[in-house]
Amino acid sequence: MKLILEKLIRLTKNDPNYKVDNLIPFRSVLVIVIGRFFSLLIGTIYQILRLKIPITLFMASSARISHSHMLTLTGTTTIGASVKIDCLSIDGVKLGHNVSIPSGTFIRCTGVVSDVGVGLSIGNNTGLGHYNFINAQGGVVIGSDVIVGPYVSFLAENHRFDDSEMLIRQQGVSRKGIVIEDNVWIGANVTILDGVEIGEGTVIGAGSVVTKSIPKNSVAIGSPCKVVKSR
């Protein structure tokens, strides 16, 4: 059974070197296989119903996707329990091969229909964290081979508040977008604000609030987040 699971994972991930830990007991392997089978079945039915060519989509029954005609899947994708994705935007939501969106993640590309947002793009072999919040009104681009911890927020929009005589909610918003380059690790409970670019190969420490761009191959931490060393 472990060999079957290992071969299936290697096939779906396109990773011939992937190995299942020998310490996992047979019963647990069986639970994993059954769970993945049913999520694959749900994902395949979902793709057929939206008149798309079926790809390898593992999708929990409690996941919800709005405006799915604006969702583009290019390879194996995993969408976990209670995930919510609202794809309404100019560019829609584009997911590369072997993208994982685990339980509780909320992706929103448009806040109000009076001002449609830009959208979200995620590269290959990227895994989001549990309970991530991606506010992609101003556009969020996440590269390939990116690791994101749990409870991370991407906030690609800011409210204007310059006029003290006017309600903040009536002053509109500014949008610059967020870019996360390839091979980045973002720790748990990080908040990334609009206009930030995080360079390739960078590590962002847990709990950081990233207000300014971080150069490539950096290790950065804090609130506000600052570079502490280079890799």
Integer Cα distance of 157 and 117 in angstroms: 9
Among the options 69, 97, 130, 159, which is catalytic? 159
CA-derived radius of gyration, the chain: 19
- List phi, psi (to 5°) of 64: -130, 130
* DSSP H or E run through 193: strand 191-193
Cα–Cα dist 86/69, whole Å:
11
Q: Cα(60)–Cα(138) distance, rounded to whole angstroms?
A: 28
Between strands 185-186 and 178-180, the pairing is unpaired
Backbone dihedral angles phi then psi of residue 11, each to the nearest 5 degrees: -70, -50
Among 114, 124, 166, which Cα is nearest to 145's?
124
Q: How far apart are CA 174 and CA 9, in angstroms?
A: 42
Q: What share of the chain is helix, strand, coil (3-state, %, to 5)?
A: 20, 30, 50
For CA atoms 26, 125, 134, 56, give the dihedral sign: negative
Check if 97 is active-site.
no
Catalytic residues: 159
